[in-house]
Amino acid sequence: MKGIILHGGHGTRLRPLTHTGPKQLLPIANKPMSQYCIESIVDTGITDIAIIIGGVGSNKVKEYYGNGEKFGVKITYIEQDEPRGIAHAIRLCKEFINNEKFLVFLGDNIIQKSIMDFVKSFQDSNYDATILLCEVDNPSQFGIADVKNGKILKITEKPKNPISNLAVTGIYLLTPTIFEIIDNLKPSWRDELEITDALDNLLKQNNKISYEKITDYWKDTGTPDDILHANGEIIKNLEDSFEGEKDDTVEIDGKIIVGRGTRIESNIKITGPVIIGKNCKILKRMNDASQSIIGPNVSVGDNSIITISSIKNSIIMENCIIDTTAKIRNSIVASNSEIKNNKINDDKIFMLGEGSKISL
């Protein structure tokens, strides 16, 4: 079996974070979200993976993943000239697949549970497709499956009046049969070839589609709130690890992961779950009795410096400088950004693109 990861798209809902690179490289718990996809695929035993790239920052994807060797896989890159739909992206992989069954993973989907059993079951079956479904609170925002008596009756993309709350996740198990279906597919109102339409047409043609339900955590990280939620959930499930240094007076409550070379000074309180990368500095300001409070649900990227700050439910990427009495809440601060001030101490929400500098 082979694997496919879709790594294109414009990420418009995540601007300005995606002005300089693809959304799938945005870090969740200090790791690009698409790396979780690769790890999920590798867990199933699949090591031959195609990554579909296109749009802003495609070169950054190649720079990060390379030939895949450091991740234990072989990676082939396939270019999509412009966003023309998930089904179109899958069709580009026909030659790569070469008549094998395959697994498709949207690069912005996060799942905590292993899908190894789902893959093995599909390999041993005669189904043309197996889709993974998950119950959601907002079904009108997803492709939705109508399931009765253990069978899928219909698949509808973002229905106005959903007949179920079973969302089609961005994880698909397919056979080359899908390529013929896509070849006869008509573009949607968005002028894209929709995977939900392809699956529904396959269903009408031969009814050889099965499904599995994800009952653990799954998130389509299409919005800042989704990313922040996934960040907290993933940190919560990591193992405690402290490889840095800290003063004896540092207060720690809950789960914390700290990288090598990081130093945490006195008068700092960390409330987990929190992950702090390598070579960071969490500092106190000279002659200032104020306490820095980090957490819960915070990730801090490598080489960042934080001084006299209160940060909660936020992502601070690598090489950032935060020196402010403002309370940073529900924020995503891209790499190489700076936030500085001396006076304002009320709550602030930031969505800062790479290299931003804020002086309050």
pLDDT at 66 (0 to 100): 94
Instruction: Count the domains in the chain.
Output: 2
Query: What are the mean pLDDT values of the chain's consecutive 10-residue runs (360 residues total)?
Result: 84 58 85 94 95 84 93 94 87 94 93 91 94 90 88 86 89 95 88 88 88 86 87 92 92 94 91 96 72 90 89 94 86 88 63 62
Residue 231, domain member (yes or no): no
Q: Is 232 a domain residue?
A: no
Q: Provide φ and ψ at 4, rounded to 5°.
A: -130, 135
Quick one: 110 and 67 in the same domain?
yes
Provide the pLDDT for residue 353.
64
- Looking at the fold, whether 267 and 292 belong to one and the same domain comes out as yes
Amino acid at 120: K
Q: Which residue has the tokens 């104020």?
A: 290
Do 244 and 206 share a structural domain? no
- Among residues 226, 254, 283, the one where a domain terminates is 226
Domain that holds residue 338: 238-359
**Distance separating alpha carbons of residues 285 and 267, to the nearest angstrom:** 10
**78 neighbors 54 (Cβ within 8 angstroms):** no
Is the domain of 199 the same as that of 271?
no
Nearest one of 34, 39, 70 to 52, comparing CA atoms = 34
Rounded CA-CA distance 99/33 in Å is 29
CATH number at residue 178: 3.90.550.10
Instruction: Decide if 248 is inside a domain.
Output: yes
Q: Domain for residue 290, yes or no?
A: yes
Q: How much is the pLDDT for 20? A: 60
Residue 176 is assigned to a structural domain of this protein:
yes
For residue 60, the SS3 value is helix
**Of 226, 260, 294, which residue constitutes the final position of a domain?**
226
Last-in-domain residue among 226, 259, 283:
226
pLDDT of residue 94: 94
Residue 349: predicted pLDDT: 67
Is 233 part of a structural domain of the chain? no
CATH number at residue 267: 2.160.10.10
Cα gap 71→42, rounded to integer Å: 9
- The CA distance from 155 to 204, in Å, is 10
Supply the DSSP symbol for 207: -
Whether residues 194 and 284 share a domain: the answer is no
My answer on whether 268 and 302 are in the same domain is yes
Are 139 and 174 in the same domain?
yes
In one letter, which amino acid is 247? Answer: D
Q: Per the domain annotation, does 352 fall within a domain?
A: yes
Three-state DSSP class for 44?
Answer: coil
Please tell me the predicted confidence (pLDDT) of residue 289.
61
Q: 109-111 and 166-174 as β-strands: parallel, antiparallel, unpaired?
A: unpaired
